[in-house]
Structure 1
Amino acid sequence: MSSETFITGETKRTVDDRFRISLPAEMAQAITDDSGETMLTKERAGCLSLWKAADWQNRQQQGVDLIKQKIQSHRLENRWDEVQRLGRLLSTRNRTIQLANRSRCTIPEGFREFLGVQPNQDVMIVGAVICVEIWNLEAWQNLLEQDMPEFGTLFKDLSG
């Protein structure tokens, strides 16, 4: 994430019949890297995140490199089930996409089911400071109900 990026805002959008969503222009710009690529990731059930592809790939590669080092030094010998589980999740977690006209996102198969929306259904587009999130409305409402009471404490902890 570049130091000047701080993405906020909340906008309702409708998924069209081809699973496309128009993002607010300022949000689309914030998550598109110099090569025009955006990383679409599965975060939690009912939510997808959009990141600058290069930033996401760098962040993920650092973690993968550490895991490779641990495998090579035999420090994960008794944890193969966890390594395989991580591999499955890594294999299906993200996909590089291009935004059409720099602001229209098409949700690919495999991600549609995770988001849990159908054509002509509304979603909430949310700026999450370091990325943009696409939320199933029910999942978004549930998260707000859970997290909003902690807003003041969280803000104070992070800004203090």
Structure 2
Amino acid sequence: MPLDRPGGARSRMGADIPRSTLIDWCGQAVATLRPLTDLIRTRVMRLDRLHADDTPIRVLDPERRAAQGKTRGVKEGRIWVYLRDDRPRGGSDPPAATYFFSPDRRGERPQEHLAGYTTKDSVSPPADGWLRGRVSISTGTAVSPTVCS
């Protein structure tokens, strides 16, 4: 959620909280939750089958704002999701997902996310097949497209 929303809501109630304080609070929340997110990420990435997808998001870009003379410059970033769910194959672990942000859709982004990931089975890339052939994963991995329904 953009920080202007909670800041504006609190301001209307008479509590004017500086934007820098809201940013500090977000940073503290991220630091507090880091061990949990690291644990989830580790568990998701250790399964033999991994499903991947990316979603475009709008990201504020100060350079575009200055270049185009707009109040808000926007570019397209990506949220990447890596999901494990082995229940259809008889697994007993609960499903889990981990997310990564990237400012673009360059092929090196999933390579960074999947660095150190090894598997005997497969990675299912986004249904548009974009990831296919752009990611090399250690030891015998097959990147096979999967159609989303």
Q: Which band: TM-score by shorter chain?
A: under 0.3
TM-score, normalised by the number of residues in structure 1: 0.24
The answer to which structure has the higher helix fraction is 1
TM-score by length of 2: 0.25
**Relative contact order (C-alpha < 8 Å, sep 6+): which is higher?**
1
